[in-house]
Structure 1
Amino acid sequence: MSKSLSRSLSRRTALKVAGTGLLGVGAGVALSESLAAADVPASQRFDLSQPSYERFRGVSLHETHHAMQGMAYDNVNRRLYIAQIQNGSDGDDLCVNQLSISGGLTGHMHVSNAGHGVSIGVEPVGTASYIWMECDSDQHSDAGRGTALARFKFVNGGTPSSVKKFLTGSKTISCATDPVNKRLLVRRSESGGMHYSLFSLADAAAGKFSSPLAHFAQPTLGNGSVTFQGYTFLDNYLYTLDGTGHEDPADINSYVTATDMNTGKVVQRSFTAAGKTLFYREPEGMMVYRTVNDNPRLCFGFASRPSMTSSTRYASVYYKNVLI
């Protein structure tokens, strides 16, 4: 990061947008590339080589013509949220679906000019669920990506209001939440590459981004030219999903990868054939949730369709549950 950019980013700014109640906190934080992650205690991790199980399959979301993207689960209020592009959008207007963990659609919100929705987070506040996601897309197209993070209350059938915006001026920013440790992980482009920064959720909601618990560059995945499709995290491990859609089941190329956030190094990478019979199966989105018996699940999604000529899209979610 250049000295001039570092100075410009180190100034926290608050921006009040007339009529919208938007609070912006500038991209703001000069983060050290060598920052140690001593504040992230070591833990068990999911064994990615173990079998995957179906959570639900072939669900129609509110926007029937677009694939699922990022997802997150409110473990307090037991609600699943899945992002997708709105029908008829230029590509950066998103819909946030609310579902039960079994895939029953229970609500939705529309969020305009948001980005791509590759990953989202959720924060339970009493009986309410607050969504964390990218906003202020850099272009009105499918290539649009967020330039800030937004936090807003989910209101079925509504649009965001009393929105708080953070890390404004970022490039290709998204986030995920750890429902167990109440943390927020931010992924964004810095110095020409993707980096992750970890914060307590309480600090993030208060606009405090100057002291991340961890900060590291995204490690090389596979041969370095993979299609990134989502991420989540639990304790000190980052989990990522990559791969592409395929008409022929023999062409499955989806992988899940675990990275230790204390070192920034990959510790396991495994091929997954979960949902292999889905037609035109494309990996999309990850999350962690805990069952009612308090057992963690590493979930990852797949979009599919009934045929190559159909505009209809379906959502399916699978999970892994073995810790090592």
Structure 2
Amino acid sequence: MAHPGSGSSRRTLLIAGTAALAAGGLGGLALWGDARTEDSKNVPAPALAGGFDIARPTRLWRPTALSDTTGPQSLAFDDVRQDVYAVQLVQGGLTLADDEDEPVDADRRKRDGDLCVTRFSRSGERLGRMYLRGFGHGLSMGVEPRGDTVLLWVESRPKSGYGRAVARVRFADGTVLDGDDPAVRHHPIAPEGATRVHPAVDMAGDRLLVGYRQGAVRGYTVHRLRDVVADDYTPVHRIARTPYLEDETFQGCALYGDHVYQLTGNPYSRADGRNPRDSGGNTFVSAVDVRTGAPAGRQPVTVDRELRYREPEGVAVRLAPDPVLCMGFSVKTADRRKLALYGFAPHTAGH
């Protein structure tokens, strides 16, 4: 197996005004529980995207703070340790030990692709954080637990803030890793000329999903993990033009079984805008058959319509103890954005 990025030049992180990591509050539902939000006497008809029922969401976390003040971009699960990882763009307040005199430039951090990865427990308690400087936007991410190590799959080699390759790096709490660190291996896995390249991991199948854009068209390739780390980028599946995305804002993707799951949508707009609150929002989960590229269901997400700000951000499949398709909303509060997390169980015949 090829050696993942070990971050030999990672520096100790100093955060101005550092506070003790605090637990993100929960809404009374355990992350690995099976509680439902609907009345059992009034169960809605199934609304399927792939193998999951989008009509019956469970709220897993109420709005929960990440490490930085910005909103989440994507999320992924470590089903071995039952941890959750979320990535966000760094907006400010970051000081590194070797450049303490460098002023914070929020626009540069976004342009250059500086990311913060927060590790959470299953109950939403913040357990650690790591900074990835010069990696990308965080459109999607993957977690690969291997023994005592947690490996993150993230976009890398950004141009205009978005990745053109993918990288596999070790999560190390309290550290900073630069994208040009010699220990980071960048995999130029997407088709030539592709932009906005981003990965997701399917640990159930030991597969890597790579999303990309060519012009105005979005596509996917699927690879065996072992092939990619051996620098073999031959895809197992290729979807050259994915359905559903032509007129929608892409917010993340995941791979499980025979389907790619896509999250799209926008935050609420003014009453006269394209996405007013009274419309119920334009958030959708859609599924695409990974073998054929054919549509496999598109469903609206109408949970928690009363949230003041409700932008879909991140989708992933939690495997243990049972598969659940999870998605996040970025929620505005007075001083920061937070992550609200929801889950959709697999459809069971007769329910």
- Report the TM range for the smaller structure's normalisation: 0.7 to 0.9
**2 CA distance for matches of 1:203 and 1:20?**
27
Count of residues in Structure 1 that have an aligned counterpart in Structure 2: 273
Does the 8 A contact of 2:54 with 2:344 survive in 1? Answer: no
Identity of aligned residues (%): 29
Equivalent residue for 1:254, pick from 275, 283, 294:
283
Aligned 8 A contact 2:50 2:297 in 1? no
Name the counterpart of 2:26: none
Tell which deviates more after alignment, 72-81 or 155-164.
155-164
- Hey, what's the Cα distance between the residues in 1 that align with 2:139 and 2:9? 25
Alignment of 1:86-105 (within 5 A): 86-88=90-92, 89-90=106-107, 91=110, 92-105=113-126
Amino acid at match of 1:219: T
Deviations along 1:230-265, one digit per CA (max 9) or x if unpaired, are 110101101001010015531411000011111101
Moved more, 153-162 or 115-124: 153-162
Measured after TM superposition, the shift of residue 150 of structure 1 is: 1.2
Post-superposition Cα deviations, 1:256-277, rounded to whole Å, max 9, x if no partner, equal 0011111101110001112322
Partner amino acid for 1:187?
Answer: G
Q: Tell whether the 8 Å contact from 1:70 to 1:82 is kept in structure 2 after alignment.
A: yes
CA deviations on 1:85-119 (whole Å, 9 max, x unpaired) are 11223212111111112221111111112211010
3-state secondary structure, aligned to 1:159: strand
* One of 240, 243, 259 as aligned partner of 2:265: 243
Q: After TM superposition, what 4+ stretches of structure 1 lie above 6 angstroms from structure 2? A: none
Q: Quick one: which of 76, 82, 95 aligns to 2:80?
A: 76
For 1:145, the equivalent position in structure 2 comes to 162
Alpha-carbon contact 1:275-1:318 (below 8 Å) kept: no
CA distance in 2, matches of 1:106, 1:218: 39
TM-score normalized with structure 2 length: 0.73
Task: Point out where structure 2 has 5 or more consecutive residues left out of the alignment.
Answer: 11-48, 93-105, 270-275
Q: Which structure 2 residues correspond to residues 168-317 of structure 1 after superposition, within 5 A? A: 170-190=194-214, 193-210=217-234, 212-221=235-244, 224-246=246-268, 248-251=276-279, 252-291=281-320, 294-306=321-333, 310-317=334-341
Secondary structure (helix, strand or coil) at the match of 1:276 reads coil
Contact 1:46 1:298 survives alignment (8 Å): no
* Structure-1-length-normalised TM-score: 0.79
Letter in structure 2 aligned against 1:221: Y
**C-alpha separation between the residues in 2 aligned to 1:253 and 1:93?**
29
Structure 1: unaligned runs, 5 residues or longer: 1-15, 22-43
CA contact (8 A) 1:20 1:163 kept: no
1:181 and 1:323 map into 2 onto residues whose CA distance is 20
Alpha-carbon distance between aligned partners in 1 of 2:51 and 2:122, rounded to the nearest angstrom? 20
Q: Contact 1:46 / 1:320 at 8 angstroms: preserved in 2? A: no
Alpha-carbon distance in structure 1 between the residues aligned to 2:243 and 2:214? 15
